[in-house]
Chains A and B, each alone.
Chain A
Amino acid sequence: MSASHSLPDDNPIQNVDTLIRSFERFGYISDRALGTAVYLVVKLGKPLLIEGHAGLGKTEVAKVLAAMLGTRLIRLQCYEGLDISAAVYEWNYQKQLLAIKIQERSEKSVEEKENHVFSREFLLERPLLQSLLAEQAAPVLLIDEIDRADEAFEAYLLELLSEFQVSIPEMGTIKAVHKPYVILTSNRTRELSDALKRRCLYHWIDYPSAEKEMKIVAARRPHIEQELARQAVRFVQTLRRMDLRKAPGVAETLDWLEAAEALGKEKLDAPTVEQTLGCLSKSAEDEARIKAEGIERILSQAL
């Protein structure tokens, strides 16, 4: 298995490098470490936990993986207070009540009526259950921002990730048709439980180097002028070295370039930057700090 030939990539998951190239074709620039991790997700069926600051492409990995494999992406957005009824399943109560009423005078026994009312017809499938029941092929299950959910939910999730089955009291155990490929993301606002972390492969996404960021811009916004892109990337790289409350991520760089282009600019100058600063800086204090440093000065470093 050599990494240097450019084989016809019918099978993007032949080895790590074909996977990386395939990702690139979908507009996602990844390094070999991430490529290896994703490759292992597909080969070993282990879940992958990606941690990192906001705007660095954690969620994108799952989207691109689904696109690459030609399979469904099922997304569970986590938040504080997320529970089983929102994440796994819930009964369609209104429909059940109606059905009970309709069955009122029928000849069926109570047990038969109960079985009818608690059948799949009346089951609202939420993302986690959907991922188990996908019929065609193994889907990609994205569990986004797991650090926002609480520990009780993590414990439930851990069980799900080990057994890939769900137990519904009225219906019994439901096993996965195809085991989904699972990607979890976290912004690291709290420590996840050891058990969960150890169940998953781990990857830390850091801010990209200037070179890598240029590649990302070229891949995702190919219509942007080289010179403009270069200026913007250098400016953002400088901002990241300042001690801002919220450093801009790659998503912010891309948004900013779009804004500059929409304003018809081919080069960056101080007034333009000041006008569009909201794309990069998301708090009043950060904006004040940047202005205190001097936009002109930062720009001239970037040229």
Chain B
Amino acid sequence: MLEPNSVQAIERIVEFCRYTRAMGFTAGVTETLDSLQAIEALATDDPEILKAAIRAEICSSKEEWARFDALFEQFWSGRSAQSSDETSRDRHARSVKVNSLELHTRNPLFGGARPSEALVDEEGSAAGGATVLERIRKTDFSRIPQADQAVLEELAERLLKQMSLRLSRRLRVAEESGRVDLRRTIRKSIGCGGELLDLQYKVRKTQQARIVILLDVSGSMNLYSLFLVRFAHALQKHFKRADTFIFSTSLRQITEELRTRNLVDALASLSQTPTSWSAGTKIGESLGEYNRLCSRKPASRETVVLILSDGWDTGEPEKLAAELCALRRRVKKVVWLNPLLGLSDYRPLTKGMAAALPHVDVFAPAHSLESLLQLEKLLM
């Protein structure tokens, strides 16, 4: 296939590594150099081994491993010219999607272009500013008028950030003195001939609770999803052990997307998945998938699971109940947050919600900024 030591071969390999980077692999310049070093150390011209060496250097996860073969074939069979076109086409498609997401957030989500006369009417007095914010906090997401949307977003950002800071700070307060720190005690004792006059205590680092967020993004939750994703994003920023999943008919983990990018990018990349967002709902199935995923880990009894869903389910209520029961056995608390609880005349009568209720530790509303902030108490 190629002469490992020829300059041309080296160039091609470097090009291939750059190609993988363009295709979303995390490998960088270091990995490229490492690949060349590996090839040199192998001193063979066996193509299978050379490929294996590059793969071992470039890949760093199962997903990349699975994609590597196809990319390798594509590149070395001389179709790399086409693929660079593809990259720019991908980029173009992505930017189109971002624009459509912006439209989506601006218009249908927030119920059309109703002017904010409501504000002027009710709060005519001088105390306008603060009271306006108060009211926006309490307003149901699905009924926020167009013009208030920006205010709500800013307010949400600020308050959620404060909440997560308070949470992370509180959880770091040490418990009262427990175990003796032998090492420091002994050091102190050397000067007094070994007498343990001064006991030094070990301050125990309280482990933060682990949070798992399961967010329903099906059609009926449409008006609330994007705000709840914000909420998940805020929690994740400050909880080191928080994971987020979205589900409608199946489950998908979005922890990394929310963690590594800022919110705008995260929402843009999420909108790229065509299937899961805004389709029907199978809560039981999705919980089942989560349970299966979980079964590989040793059970963590410090976990709190937040399910954000309105309970409208097209699957079987028995399955939902069974999976929820299995989940609850394994974790500390299951909290179900339902936006519909914000409606004064809501009763959990749908089969799905009714089946789930007995297996839930806390049932609380999640329809407005105010209700989300109440969760701070739950997460202690």
CB proximity of B327 to chain A, nearest CB, Å: 13
Interface residue B373 (Cβ < 8 Å from any Cβ of A): no
| CB–CB B194/A204 < 8 A | no
Contacts of A114 in B (CB 8 A): 190
Q: What is the CA–CA distance of A115 and B65 in the complex, to the nearest angstrom?
A: 51
Contacts of B297 in A (CB 8 A): 189-190
Interface residue A104 (Cβ < 8 Å from any Cβ of B): yes
| CB–CB A194/B60 < 8 A | yes
| Also in contact, A151 and B240, with CB within 8 A (given A16-B42, A37-B52, A44-B41) | yes
Which of B5-13, B29-37, B95-103 faces chain A? B29-37
Q: What is the CA–CA distance of A36 and B43 in the complex, to the nearest angstrom?
A: 12
| CB–CB B256/A191 < 8 A | yes
Interface residue A230 (Cβ < 8 Å from any Cβ of B): no
Q: How large is the interface on A (under 10, 10 to 19, 20 to 34, 35 or more residues)?
A: 35 or more
Interface residue B178 (Cβ < 8 Å from any Cβ of A): no
Among A32, A100, A101, A148, residue most surrounded by chain B Cβ atoms (within 10 Å): A100
Interface residue A256 (Cβ < 8 Å from any Cβ of B): no
Top 6 nearest A-B pairs by Cβ distance?
A100-B194, A197-B60, A36-B52, A33-B52, A204-B65, A189-B297
| CB–CB A197/B61 < 8 A | yes
Interface residue B296 (Cβ < 8 Å from any Cβ of A): yes
Among A44, A46, A117, residue most surrounded by chain B Cβ atoms (within 10 Å): A44
Contacts of A77 in B (CB 8 A): none
Which residue numbers of A lie inside 8 Å of B, CB to CB?
Answer: 1, 3, 15-16, 32-33, 35-37, 39-40, 43-44, 46, 48-49, 51, 53-54, 80, 91, 93, 96-97, 100-101, 103-104, 110, 113-114, 117, 148, 151, 187-191, 194, 197-198, 200-204, 245-246, 283
The 8 Å CB contact of A245, one of B49, B52, B55, B292, is B292
Q: What is the CA–CA distance of A200 and B28 in the complex, to the nearest angstrom?
A: 13
| CB–CB B62/A246 < 8 A | no
Contacts of B34 in A (CB 8 A): 46
Interface of B is mostly: helix
| CB–CB B30/A189 < 8 A | no
The 8 Å CB contact of A100, one of B55, B186, B240, is B186
Which residue numbers of B lie inside 8 Å of A, CB to CB?
Answer: 26-28, 30-31, 34, 37-38, 41-44, 46, 48-49, 52-53, 55-57, 59-62, 65-66, 182-183, 186, 189-191, 193-194, 240, 255-256, 292, 295-298
Contacts of A93 in B (CB 8 A): 182-183, 186
Contacts of A103 in B (CB 8 A): 194
Contacts of A15 in B (CB 8 A): 42, 44
- Residue of A with least CB distance to B59: A202
- Residue of B with least CB distance to A151: B240
| Also in contact, A37 and B56, with CB within 8 A (given A46-B34, A51-B62, A114-B190) | yes
CB proximity of A207 to chain B, nearest CB, Å: 13
Contacts of A246 in B (CB 8 A): 295-296
- Residue of A with least CB distance to B241: A150
